[in-house]
């Protein structure tokens, strides 16, 4: 018989508590001042390290301050400014299209609604939740590569479950007050200990709570 939802919730609560103490400074690593800044940075962060994105957005945010600025931008000029990032052409076009929609449909403002956000070009559930939780203070679970990998290793979700299914699994067993901070804690833990390749299981503070730990 598999682990009950109650037992899984209790185990996750203990994992969360241990990692929260281990990483007291866990936070979003993308720099932003406004919801628009964060939306743009989140689109740029796909398959790219946060520190690399931050180096790019420092000058980008100084030049483009409103959704209309991006919407009116020449796409080739925008591409050139993003040239050091992976998939920069696709990202430039996504940002321009998303901001055109913001101007046309939302008065140039970033909506605080998951359905409205995911309707924008280049914005999936992960990006929408990241904006909602960090720019608007709404409880939302961001399932990035770290969260997905760690949840699978912890047995919170299975290898077959995608990010959306993992988000739903977490929502069922994690108190809402912890939704937004989970990704910050798991991201630091994923970089520090539970890496994709060669995880440092012998140094893991939650090894005894992890079914993937071989001892």
Domains annotated on the chain, with CATH:
5-27+141-209 (1.10.1670.10), 35-135 (1.10.340.30)
37 as an active site residue: the answer is: no
144 as an active site residue: the answer is: yes
> What does the pLDDT average to over 156-184?
96
pLDDT bucket at 76, cuts 50 / 70 / 90: very high
> What does the pLDDT average to over 60-70?
98
pLDDT bucket at 23, cuts 50 / 70 / 90: very high
> What does the pLDDT average to over 2-22?
96
Marked catalytic residue, from 91, 96, 126, 188: 126
Query: Which position has the token pair 């798991």?
Result: 186
Handedness of CA 25, 31, 34, 35 (dihedral sign): negative
* pLDDT(1) > 60: no
Residue 2: its pLDDT value, please? 81
> What does the pLDDT average to over 4-19?
97
> What does the pLDDT average to over 135-156?
97
What does R_g of the chain's alpha carbons equal in angstroms? 18
H helices of the chain, where? 5-22, 35-44, 50-63, 67-72, 75-81, 88-106, 114-118, 125-135, 145-154, 163-173, 179-192
Residue 214: its pLDDT value, please? 78
Cβ proximity of 193 and 151 under 8 Å: no
Marked catalytic residue, from 50, 69, 144, 192: 144
How do residues 181-191 score in pLDDT, each as one tens digit?
999 999 999 99
* pLDDT(215) > 80: no
Specify the pTM. Answer: 0.94
Residue 143: its pLDDT value, please? 97
Q: List the single range of 1-5, 27-31, 112-116, 122-126 with lowest mean pLDDT.
A: 1-5
> What does the pLDDT average to over 68-80?
97
Q: In this structure, what token pair is assigned to residue 72? A: 């009116």
State how far the alpha carbon of 185 is from the alpha carbons of 87, 166, 194, in Å. 27, 16, 12
How do residues 77-109 score in pLDDT, each as one tens digit?
999 999 989 999 999 999 999 999 999 999 999
């Amino acid at each position: 018989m598999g682990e009950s939802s109650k037992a899984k919730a209790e185990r996750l609560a203990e994992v969360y508590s241990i990692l929260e103490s281990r990483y007291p400074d866990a936070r979003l690593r993308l720099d932003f001042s406004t919801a628009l800044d964060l939306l743009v940075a989140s689109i740029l962060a796909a398959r790219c390290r946060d520190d690399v994105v931050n180096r790019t957005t420092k000058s980008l945010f100084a030049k483009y301050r409103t959704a209309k600025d991006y919407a009116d931008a020449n796409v080739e000029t925008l591409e050139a400014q993003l040239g050091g990032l992976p998939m920069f052409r696709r990202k430039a076009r996504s940002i321009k299209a998303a901001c055109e929609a913001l101007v046309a449909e939302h008065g140039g403002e970033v909506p605080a609604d998951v359905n409205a956000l995911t309707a924008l070009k280049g914005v999936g559930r992960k990006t929408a939740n990241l904006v909602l939780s960090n720019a608007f203070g709404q409880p939302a679970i961001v399932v990035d590569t770290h969260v997905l990998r760690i949840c699978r290793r912890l047995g919170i979700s299975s290898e077959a479950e995608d990010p959306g299914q993992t988000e739903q699994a977490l929502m069922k067993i994690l108190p809402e007050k912890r939704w937004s901070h989970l990704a910050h804690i798991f991201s630091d833990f994923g970089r520090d200990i539970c890496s994709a390749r060669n995880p440092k299981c012998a140094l893991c503070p939650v090894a005894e709570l992890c079914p993937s730990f071989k001892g």
